[in-house]
Chain A
Amino acid sequence: MAEELNPMAKTLGESLRQSGVSRRGFLKFCSATASMMALPPTMVSAVADSLEKAKRPSVIWLSFQECTGCTESLTRSHSPTVENLIFDYVSLDYHHTLQVASGNAAEAAREAAMHDNEGNYLVVVDGSIPLGNPGFSTIAGISNLQMLEETVAGAAAVVAVGSCAAFGGLPHAKPNPTGAVSVSEIVKDKPVVNVSGCPPIPTVITGVLAHFLTFGSLPELDSLGRPMVFFGKSIHDRCYRRPFYDKGLFAETFDDEGARKGWCLFRLGCKGPMTYNACATTKWNQGASWPVEAGHGCLGCSEPDFWDTGGFYNALSIPDSDVIRNAAYVAGAGVALGAAAGALNRRKQSKAASEHETVTIDDLDKRS
């Protein structure tokens, strides 16, 4: 009986079968999961084989210096819904925002989960960690740094959800008053997956969790520790407005002819070329749309230091200064200097001319 109460003991295949889900239903679940993990459809049978034997991992969710936007994003995930996620994919044992009413019981649940699943649980972190003063951010009287170090000690891996946890995010923006740092700057001895974005795309969060559930391992990561399947291509390369960029057709303002015709937003400061994320394919709000489709350039929210990229509405590669005005001043200075140099040269020339002596054959004879 105790066995049955513990969902961790059963594989996903067993528990779904027990709740009356047919193989067909299971295959449907697997296609949705493969699609969510951005795996090619040919992988569905491999996903099914793995999910059949998979055991739901225990997940501890820690929230530090953050705005809860990441949790908001996750709870608005529709495939799977957050209920599906919690019941089918993971055992979410601690999430202090969702469990806020539970007080000490929640902290006890965290400790129990850590103890029972030593070495096997996943830690999800949203928010950055202040190193300036431990008192800047605490939960149940425990500083963020202490809670992170304590919780991560027995974890299998850490998923840093959102740009704050992944790269420091808004708290880390200049002048970084709290001394905020990312998770990977503190956790050095465990694998860390960065699911960046402000907020991250909900299916990207669940996709990483599903990958861990399915294959018992972490997905392949890029140089910034982000899963390649979602962050492998730049927004620019996947953008449906890209053909307009290649043709040199740009919107100049947010309401001109070009903007209405859906032309490229590069001139309006779109950070698509430097930004790696899955917005162009996964989209937002149940696939409804995404920022560029809505007519606003990409802010680059899944990149490190995106708050400090010199303005959301300034194009990436265009010099900041007023080039024409500077060039006019500089050319003026150049003319003055050039005229002076020219005058010096002329003087040298005329001096040479005036000192020029004519020499006759006789003179040469005399000298020799």
Chain B
Amino acid sequence: MQKLQDIAVRVEAKESSESTVDHANAKPVMHEVLHALKRLKERGEVTTIDLKSMPFGPGDEEALLSYLGCGEVTIELQSLGKSRICETFYPGVWLVDHYNATGDRIALSIEINRVPEIVRSQTEDISHAITRLEQQLNPDSTA
């Protein structure tokens, strides 16, 4: 039986040709994306996949992101820190990457949608814009 004192510890240099992990947990997510994309086309159903809740092994997330790649559209959002939103190599599949004000990632998800929800102008913001614009045009009115 293995006791602590029986375990020999030897430090050695990491071999460079180390690629034994097959990124087993990235593939199922790709299948999930495929099915979601079919649902978007057939029924207009929107799907969001939270990548922070995936039991990824080392390199899985990187492998998934490189499978998805980057496509034609990249959007940068500036609100409570930066957000990078890009359409991947597969149209309809978007990567939504949120950062906080200090530049740490706070959420990372894949959204299967025609345009990510957060990119669309929000009703509340539009109302607020109307008020502001009216104030701008009629500075004298007591609104």
Q: Hey, which bits of chain A sit against chain B, CB under 8 A?
A: 21-25, 27-29, 31-32, 34-36, 38, 40-42, 44, 78-81, 84, 238-241, 243, 252-255, 260-262, 267-269, 280-282, 286-287, 289, 293, 311-315, 318, 320, 322
Q: Report whether B4 and A24 are in contact in the complex, using a CB–CB cutoff of 8 Å.
A: no
The complex places the Cα of A239 from the Cα of B93 at a distance, in Å, of 27
A311 CB to nearest B CB, Å: 7
Can you show 8 pairs from A to B with CB atoms below 8 A apart? Answer: A25-B79, A31-B96, A31-B98, A79-B105, A260-B18, A262-B20, A268-B7, A282-B52
Q: Report whether B55 and A31 are in contact in the complex, using a CB–CB cutoff of 8 Å.
A: no
The complex places the Cα of A38 from the Cα of B20 at a distance, in Å, of 30
The complex places the Cα of A318 from the Cα of B9 at a distance, in Å, of 23
Q: Does B124 contact A (CB under 8 A)?
A: yes
Q: Report whether B100 and A314 are in contact in the complex, using a CB–CB cutoff of 8 Å.
A: no
- Tell me which of A36, A79, A241, A260 has the highest count of chain B C-beta atoms within 10 A of its own C-beta: A79
Q: Please, which residue of chain B has its CB at the minimum distance from the CB of A253?
A: B7
Find A240's partner among B50, B60, B102 (CB 8 Å cutoff). B60
Q: Report whether B107 and A24 are in contact in the complex, using a CB–CB cutoff of 8 Å.
A: no
Q: Report whether A260 and B3 are in contact in the complex, using a CB–CB cutoff of 8 Å.
A: no
Q: Does B83 contact A (CB under 8 A)?
A: yes
Q: Hey, which bits of chain B sit against chain A, CB under 8 A?
A: 1-4, 7-10, 12, 15, 18, 20-21, 24-25, 48-50, 52-58, 60, 77, 79-80, 83, 96, 98, 100, 102, 104-107, 109, 117-118, 122-125, 128
Q: Report whether A80 and B100 are in contact in the complex, using a CB–CB cutoff of 8 Å.
A: yes
In the complex, chain B residues whose CB is within 8 Å of the CB of A240? 24-25, 55-58, 60
Find B80's partner among A29, A40, A282, A312 (CB 8 Å cutoff). A29
In the complex, chain B residues whose CB is within 8 Å of the CB of A41? 48-50, 109
Q: Report whether B57 and A260 are in contact in the complex, using a CB–CB cutoff of 8 Å.
A: no
Q: Report whether B109 and A35 are in contact in the complex, using a CB–CB cutoff of 8 Å.
A: yes
Say whether chain B's binding surface is mostly helix, strand, loop, or mixed: loop
Q: Report whether A311 and B106 are in contact in the complex, using a CB–CB cutoff of 8 Å.
A: no
In the complex, chain B residues whose CB is within 8 Å of the CB of A318? 1
Given the interface pairs A260-B18, A313-B7, the reply to whether A78 lies near B104 with Cβ below 8 Å is yes
Q: Please, which residue of chain B has its CB at the minimum distance from the CB of A294?
A: B58
Q: Report whether B105 and A262 are in contact in the complex, using a CB–CB cutoff of 8 Å.
A: no
In the complex, chain A residues whose CB is within 8 Å of the CB of B21? 262
The complex places the Cα of A238 from the Cα of B8 at a distance, in Å, of 29
A-B contact count (CB 8 A): 128
Q: Report whether A313 and B53 are in contact in the complex, using a CB–CB cutoff of 8 Å.
A: no
In the complex, chain B residues whose CB is within 8 Å of the CB of A40? 50
The complex places the Cα of A289 from the Cα of B36 at a distance, in Å, of 29
Shortest 7 CB-CB contacts between residues of A and residues of B:
A240-B57, A25-B79, A41-B48, A23-B122, A79-B106, A23-B124, A32-B106
Given the interface pairs A35-B53, A35-B109, A268-B2, the reply to whether A22 lies near B100 with Cβ below 8 Å is no
A140 CB to nearest B CB, Å: 34
Q: Report whether B122 and A27 are in contact in the complex, using a CB–CB cutoff of 8 Å.
A: yes
Q: Report whether B4 and A313 are in contact in the complex, using a CB–CB cutoff of 8 Å.
A: yes
The complex places the Cα of A207 from the Cα of B70 at a distance, in Å, of 31
The complex places the Cα of A40 from the Cα of B25 at a distance, in Å, of 19
The complex places the Cα of A252 from the Cα of B98 at a distance, in Å, of 41
Find B106's partner among A80, A241, A289 (CB 8 Å cutoff). A80
In the complex, chain B residues whose CB is within 8 Å of the CB of A260? 15, 18, 20
In the complex, chain B residues whose CB is within 8 Å of the CB of A241? 57
In the complex, chain B residues whose CB is within 8 Å of the CB of A254? 7, 9
Given the interface pairs A22-B79, A35-B53, the reply to whether A252 lies near B2 with Cβ below 8 Å is yes
Find A22's partner among B12, B60, B117, B122 (CB 8 Å cutoff). B122
